[in-house]
Amino acid sequence: MTERARDFMNAIWDCRNNQGADTEEKLVSAILQVAAETVRSYTAQNDLQVLDRDDMIQLAQELQE
C-alpha cells in the first residue's frame, strides 16, 4: 500500500472513530468527502472543480496493493 493510500485510510478511520461517522450513511459520506479532497482536481473553463477520474482509479488500485 502506498503512503497516499495509507493516509487516505487513516483519514477514513479518523472520520469513523473521532468525527462521528458512526452509521453507514455517514461513513460513505465521509469516504466521498475524503476522496474528493485526496484525488487530484482541476479548474474547468467555467470555474468548476473537476476530479481526475484516472487519479481516483489509481488511488483505488493503490488501496488494493
Give the pLDDT score at 30.
96
Query: pLDDT category, 61, cuts 50, 70, 90?
Result: very high
pLDDT tens digits, one per residue of 34-57: 999 999 999 999 999 999 999 999
Flag whether pLDDT at 1 surpasses 90: no
CB 49 within 8 A of CB 41: yes
Give the pLDDT score at 46.
94
pLDDT tens digits, one per residue of 7-38: 999 999 999 999 999 999 999 999 999 999 99
Residue 38's alpha-carbon distances to 9, 18, 23, 46, 50, in angstroms, are: 11, 19, 22, 22, 13
Question: What residues make up the domain containing 8?
Answer: 3-64
CB 44 within 8 A of CB 52: no
| Structural domain count, the chain | 1
Q: How far apart are CA 32 and CA 24, in angstroms?
A: 12
